[in-house]
Amino acid sequence: MNNINLLLVGVGGQGTILASKVLAEVAMQSGLDVKMSEIHGMAQRGGSVVTHVKIGSKVFSPLVEKGEADIIMAFEQLEALRWLDYLKPEGEVLVSRQIIEPVPVILGKAKYPDNIVAEVKKVVSRVIAVDAVDIAGDCGNPKASNVVMIGMLAQKLDFSREVWIEALRKLVPPALLQINEAAFEKGCAC
């Protein structure tokens, strides 16, 4: 198979890293090579968080570079815009409509761009934007929005549904499993 390159982008605390772990587990259980790279350190201090995931028969560099991502999965709108340079021209953007203002915006020193999804759609033909936080809230916990996004991603990748569910069961705390499975199903339907 051709390698698949993904960028998972968001803000510290949104569950970006858990989502990438589920994805990597699915790839591994499907018998593929996978590498994943993330930058720690400032993640809990409200900074921009990015995880690179590369899947294929053989992966060398763990990093996705500009123009190489097949899919950008953004847990926050501004982060989708920030990392768009990394997308292939024929690539796809999955974005949660959540907005988390960065400090320069909070302080009134910078403006949070208007209509980011519409702007992104001007240059990317395949964009799916969902209210992942609301959907997760309906399932019992808005924090499961990352799993709604995982459900969306599952529709785009050629892995069996059972493997996704199995990976969730392995990586999500048992107490939250029911909510997360519901969030996954909702995500699959987006």
- Which residues make up the interface to other proteins (CB under 8 A)? 11-12, 24-25, 28, 33-42, 44-48, 59-63, 65-67, 78-79, 81-82, 84-89, 91, 101-114, 116, 119-120, 122-124
Of the two residues 46 and 189, which places its CB atom closer to other proteins in the complex?
46
Of the two residues 105 and 188, which places its CB atom closer to other proteins in the complex?
105
Name all contacts of 74-77 with Cβ < 8 Å and 24+ positions apart: 74/9, 74/10, 75/8, 75/9, 75/10, 75/11, 75/14, 75/15, 75/16, 75/19, 75/132, 75/145, 75/146, 75/149, 76/9, 76/10, 76/11, 76/14, 76/100, 77/116, 77/117
Please return the burial class of 42, using the count of CB atoms within 10 Å of its CB with bins 0-12, 13-18 and 19+: exposed
Q: How far is the CB of 39 from other proteins (least distance, A)?
A: 5
Q: How far is the CB of 61 from other proteins (least distance, A)?
A: 5
Of the two residues 88 and 97, which places its CB atom closer to other proteins in the complex?
88
Q: How far is the CB of 28 from other proteins (least distance, A)?
A: 5
- The answer to whether residues 133 and 99 touch, using CB atoms and an 8 Å cutoff, is no
Q: How far is the CB of 105 from other proteins (least distance, A)?
A: 6
Q: Cα dihedral sign for 161, 164, 86, 142? A: positive
Q: What are phi and psi of 52, to 5 degrees?
A: -100, 135
Q: How far is the CB of 121 from other proteins (least distance, A)?
A: 11
Of the two residues 12 and 140, which places its CB atom closer to other proteins in the complex?
12
Q: How far is the CB of 189 from other proteins (least distance, A)?
A: 27
Of the two residues 131 and 185, which places its CB atom closer to other proteins in the complex?
131
Of the two residues 19 and 116, which places its CB atom closer to other proteins in the complex?
116
- DSSP 8-class letter at 175: G
Which structure tokens are listed for 44?
Answer: 């809990």
